[in-house]
Amino acid sequence: MDFQKGEILYFDKPLNWTSFDLVNRIRYKISRFLNVKKIKVGHAGTLDPLATGVMIICTGKATKRIEEFQYQTKEYVATLRLGATTPSFDLETEIDNEYNIDHITQQLVEETLPNFLGKIEQVPPTYSACKINGNKAYEFARKGIEVELKPKTLVIDEIELLSYEKDEIKIRIVCSKGTYIRALARDIGKAMNTGAHLIQLQRTRIGAITLDQCKTIDEIEDLLKVI
């Protein structure tokens, strides 16, 4: 492998790591191994700290291909808790409201999900890196300052119910760049006249790259040994 000329690596991002944590760890390992002060390393598509799954890491001149990978279709498996919301739409923040779920049935879920197929408008979470006057939205949200984000157009190619319990559903989503699965959880809850938030998220595919092709962070040493 020639990391300076450019390599494309596939990793399974660990839980509670930021995307930059993973990039920084890989950059450190490669730089130390090659005994160089600096090497270009970047990722193609951010994952929240509470999400795991496929991350494409580019090194050296291959970082020029990052945008190409960012625009590829992505697949996720998400678990939603029904009957409660949080300000961040996931487990980063505490539950702020609870809702009735007595009317929720598997049939209702199956009838609701197809409404999100195709081109949709989605308002991003305030706990996100979306920019407002040059600042990231989450900087305002964490200070308790209310902000208004404009809806963005995106495409949901597939949405499938994988499992159902009274207060929890697991779904598979195939979608375009820019889709916030946390915001989708919020909107699914609203569509069923209740609340919902994301409690688990795994990105299982970017383009043709699937989870079974990805290495764990502990396996980077094996990659270095084959140089």
Active site amino acids? 48
**Measured between alpha carbons, how far is 58 from 63 in angstroms, rounded to an integer?**
5
| CA distances, 50 to each of 120, 127, 182, 208 (Å) | 25, 13, 11, 23
- State the Cα–Cα distance between residues 22 and 55, nearest whole angstrom: 9
* Positive or negative torsion for Cα 50, 53, 54, 56: positive
* Token pair in block for residue 37: 């002060």
Residue 119: Cβ-neighbour burial (10 angstroms; 0-12, 13-18, 19+): exposed
* First-to-final CA distance of the chain: 5
Tokens of 103: 């009317």
β-bridge pairing 168-175 and 152-165: antiparallel
